[in-house]
Amino acid sequence: MPIAIQQIKEVFNKDPSRTLNSTDCIARGCALQAAMLSPNFQVATFEVEEYNQEPIGITYKFAGSDKCITKELFKKGSSFPNTKSITFDNKLGNLELMVHYSDTAELMPGLPGQISQYNIAEGKKEEKTEKFSFCMRVSNNIHNVPSLDEVEFVQEWTEEEKIPVKASPITPPPKADPPKDETKPAEGEAPATEGEQKPAEEKPAEEKPAEEKPAEEQKQEEVKQPEQTYEIKQR
């Protein structure tokens, strides 16, 4: 804070107005943030959104070309941090890039408009490449300082990969037994002549099961009556 106050004083030749002590300001800010996160307190939610005060653009030129192309990436009033991507199809790279403030930016007298400058090399393309492109990513970081973040060279091609497939073994169906010829005689038998019929085999007579008598009759048969004797006396 003392350095910031000193810089403001040198630029504007005026002391900045302060209504609160720096230590008390930090303590109150921490207490407010803790109350916003706590479920026991109900306070108004405060959110700080920073925005870009000056428009920022880029200018690039490919090697072997005299044409310079300028684009505005971060407009005035856009929030940061932020990242923008620029993709070039069927280009290998090999260009010069400059990040700068736009012509409509209201800069202080004597402040240069150029921020940074880069030389991007040419990418190496494979023979099997069918489609290629490269992409530039320019970011405006949390300090509102734009810079080249990343350059990516992308190549696309198609490959056919043969995957061996093991076929399952085919088992042959089981052989069916040949039908028996009833006309053939069995072993030890003489062949039957024409017009002579083979006698039918006699089946043993089935024994009929004995009829079961009811249980009451069986009991009556088992009980034996005692023999009675009579004496005859003559007078």
Across residues 73-80, what is the average pLDDT?
87
Among 89-98, 179-188, 219-228, the least confident range: 219-228
Among 14-28, 57-71, 207-221, the least confident range: 207-221
Average pLDDT, the chain: 76
Domains and CATH numbers, the chain: 2-37 (no CATH), 56-156 (2.60.34.10)
pLDDT tens profile 148-164: 888 888 888 888 888 88
pLDDT tens profile 161-175: 888 877 777 777 777
> Which pLDDT score is estimated for 142?
84
> Which pLDDT score is estimated for 182?
57
Q: How far is CA 32 from CA 22, 27, 37, 42, 47, in A?
A: 15, 9, 9, 10, 11
> Which pLDDT score is estimated for 227?
56
> Which pLDDT score is estimated for 164?
82
Residues with Cβ within 8 Å of residue 145, at least 6 apart in sequence? 115
> Which pLDDT score is estimated for 235?
46
How far apart, in whole angstroms, are the C-alpha atoms of residue 82 and residue 138?
A: 9
pTM (whole model) above 0.75: no
pLDDT tens profile 176-194: 676 665 555 555 555 555 4
Across residues 9-38, what is the average pLDDT?
85
Give the 3-state secondary structure of the chain: CHHHHHHHHHHHCCCCCCCCCHHHHHHHHHHHHHHHHCCCCCCCCCCCCCECCCCEEEEEEECCCCCCEEEEEECCCCECCEEEEEEEECCCEEEEEEEEECCCCCCCCCCCCEEEEEEEEECCCCCCCCEEEEEEEEEECCCCCEEEEEEEEEEECCCCCCCCCCCCCCCCCCCCCCCCCCCCCCCCCCCCCCCCCCCCCCCCCCCCCCCCCCHHHHHHHHCCCCCCCCCCCCC
